[in-house]
């Protein structure tokens, strides 16, 4: 008996490559396979031209200069480059990084790892809404603070803190500001033209582009940000990230971002409508469900709900027909409750009994009713045991 595939509602984990993106990439796997660093022949020149064109288009989407875009393997590497790079830019000088307690592990672990180099890391708590009060960030800045890192959108609960205000505070105190925009880019308006953001991480596979490519925006003027590279070698990307450039992925990345920016307004409204439909349906059929995180300052396609008095593991098993994410750290295989939900004040059991719905480009209205129905049935099944 063939089983239909689960309904994909995990767009915060990753997204399918848009066919328009794949089409843009294909020539660079075929005839145009050159190395962008080969300066002696046409294969290299064409590859280099494709990379520079992509860089320009990405820069345009963010209203920044093309030479402020550094290609990496993804947001994990971009976050590591920003944190490691800023703290170790001046050899022998100890610094510190201030981040919120709900940052992605690639920020928090990168910050903790800096202890081995003589630096400090500070975690600032968030409110029950998941939002951080900018004044709490300002209060955590000390004389040795090099960098503040606050994500533009949280990966689990989708909340959108006031990063523009935090960035202004940072510059007033002479501190760099980094934001992890892996979840935010292409989903909410994000122009860097009039912001004080110094470093911004993003990734292609969250925006219907290919996996394995991302970028770090590095401010070049007022002030020019100095970073120590993580990867040394042939000196690509202005010496900040050596290694042969992934031309097809870079071309796909640019197309993916352009499409998201072009379609952002309409798609955001559509997803917000579907998300609200899902929320209201769950509110009606599972009234005990608790929504995690602020609803107003939130990604349009994200809904995270916790269900009191149910076994989280069993809940996920009973939701096999839905591709959703749980409230535990599955990425590490540890099954530990999510640090984000604990930081919101949820207890361990409630944190484990959490479902993150990530709606996206492929999500249809009929799937919303099916998802809400599946959740209600899974909860009823446990309550009747």
Answer yes or no whether residue 76 interacts with ligand PLP by CB under 6 A.
yes
Between residue 4 and residue 33, which ones bind ligand PLP under the rule CB under 6 A?
none
How far apart, in whole angstroms, are the C-alpha atoms of residue 20 and residue 256?
8
**Distance of alpha carbon 259 from the chain centroid:** 18
Choosing from 15, 80, 96, 106, the residue that interacts with ligand PLP (CB under 6 A) is 106
Among 24-32, 178-186, 256-264, 340-348, the segment contacting ligand PLP (CB under 6 A):
178-186
Answer yes or no whether residue 104 interacts with ligand PLP by CB under 6 A.
yes
| Phi, psi dihedrals of residue 122, rounded to the nearest 5° | -130, 135
Answer yes or no whether residue 328 interacts with ligand PLP by CB under 6 A.
no
Structure tokens that stand for 238 in this block: 């202005």
Closest approach of ligand PLP to the CB of residue 288, in Å: 28
- Residue 315, CB half-sphere, CA atoms under 13 Å: how many? 27
Q: Which of 255, 215, 257 is nearest to 237 (CA)?
A: 215
Closest approach of ligand PLP to the CB of residue 78, in Å: 8
- Active-site residue identified among 61, 170, 260, 330: 330
Closest approach of ligand PLP to the CB of residue 252, in Å: 14
| Phi, psi dihedrals of residue 227, rounded to the nearest 5° | -125, 150
How far apart, in whole angstroms, are the C-alpha atoms of residue 145 and residue 137?
11
Answer yes or no whether residue 72 interacts with ligand PLP by CB under 6 A.
no
Answer yes or no whether residue 183 interacts with ligand PLP by CB under 6 A.
yes
Between residue 148 and residue 177, which ones bind ligand PLP under the rule CB under 6 A?
151, 155
Answer yes or no whether residue 209 interacts with ligand PLP by CB under 6 A.
no
Structure tokens that stand for 65 in this block: 């200069």
Answer yes or no whether residue 304 interacts with ligand PLP by CB under 6 A.
no
Closest approach of ligand PLP to the CB of residue 182, in Å: 4
330 as an active site residue: the answer is yes
Percent helix, strand, coil in the chain, to 5, is: 40, 15, 45
Q: Which of 3, 21, 8 is nearest to 364 (CA)?
A: 8
**Quick one: 181 or 192, whose CB is closer to ligand PLP?**
181
Answer yes or no whether residue 180 interacts with ligand PLP by CB under 6 A.
yes
Answer yes or no whether residue 203 interacts with ligand PLP by CB under 6 A.
yes
Q: Which of 75, 103, 222, 157 is nearest to 357 (CA)?
A: 157
Choosing from 134, 214, 248, 293, the residue that interacts with ligand PLP (CB under 6 A) is 214
Straight-line distance from the first to the last Cα atom of the chain, in angstroms, rounded to the nearest whole number: 28
Beta strands 302-306; 199-203: pairing state: unpaired
**Quick one: 151 or 306, whose CB is closer to ligand PLP?**
151
How far apart, in whole angstroms, are the C-alpha atoms of residue 208 and residue 46?
25
Answer yes or no whether residue 74 interacts with ligand PLP by CB under 6 A.
yes
State how far the alpha carbon of 324 is from the alpha carbons of 10, 142, 380, in Å. Answer: 5, 40, 19
Answer yes or no whether residue 255 interacts with ligand PLP by CB under 6 A.
no
Interacting residues toward ligand PLP by CB under 6 A? 74-76, 104, 106, 151, 155, 180, 182-183, 203, 214
Positions annotated as catalytic residues are: 330
């Amino acid at each position: 008996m063939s089983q239909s595939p689960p309904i994909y509602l995990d767009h915060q984990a990753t997204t399918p490559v848009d066919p328009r993106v794949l089409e843009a990439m294909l020539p660079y796997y075929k005839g145009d396979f050159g190395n962008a660093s080969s300066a002696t022949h046409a294969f290299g020149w064409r590859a280099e031209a494709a990379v520079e064109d992509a860089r320009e288009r990405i820069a345009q989407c963010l209203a920044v200069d093309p030479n402020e875009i550094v290609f990496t393997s993804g947001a994990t590497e971009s976050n590591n480059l920003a944190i490691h790079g800023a703290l170790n830019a001046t050899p022998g000088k100890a610094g510190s990084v201030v981040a919120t307690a709900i940052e992605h592990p690639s920020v928090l672990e990168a910050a903790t790892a800096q202890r081995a180099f003589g630096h400090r890391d500070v975690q600032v708590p968030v409110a029950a809404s998941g939002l951080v009060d900018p004044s709490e960030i300002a209060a955590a800045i000390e004389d040795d603070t090099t960098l503040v890192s606050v994500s533009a959108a949280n990966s689990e609960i989708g909340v959108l803190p006031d990063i523009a205000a935090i960035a202004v505070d940072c510059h007033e105190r002479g501190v760099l500001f980094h934001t992890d925009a892996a979840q935010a880019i292409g989903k909410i308006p994000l122009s860097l033209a009039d912001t004080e953001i110094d470093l911004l991480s993003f990734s292609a596979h969250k925006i219907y582009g290919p996996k394995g490519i991302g970028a770090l925006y590095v401010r070049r003027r007022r002030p020019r940000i100095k970073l120590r590279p993580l990867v040394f070698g042939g000196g690509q990307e202005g010496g900040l990230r050596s290694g042969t450039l992934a031309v097809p992925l870079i071309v796909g990345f640019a197309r993916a971002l352009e499409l998201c920016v072009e379609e952002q307004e309409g798609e955001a409204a559509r997803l917000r409508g579907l998300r609200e439909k899902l929320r209201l349906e769950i509110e009606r059929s599972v009234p005990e469900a608790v929504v995690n995180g602020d609803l107003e300052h939130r990604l349009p396609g994200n809904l995270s709900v916790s269900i009191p008095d149910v076994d989280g593991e069993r809940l996920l098993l009973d939701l096999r027909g839905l591709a959703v994410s749980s409230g535990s750290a599955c990425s590490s295989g540890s099954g530990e409750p999510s640090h984000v939900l604990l930081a919101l004040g949820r207890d361990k059991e409630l944190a484990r009994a959490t479902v993150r719905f990530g709606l996206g480009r492929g999500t249809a209205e009929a799937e919303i009713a099916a998802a809400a129905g599946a959740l209600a049935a899974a909860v009823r099944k446990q309550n009747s045991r």
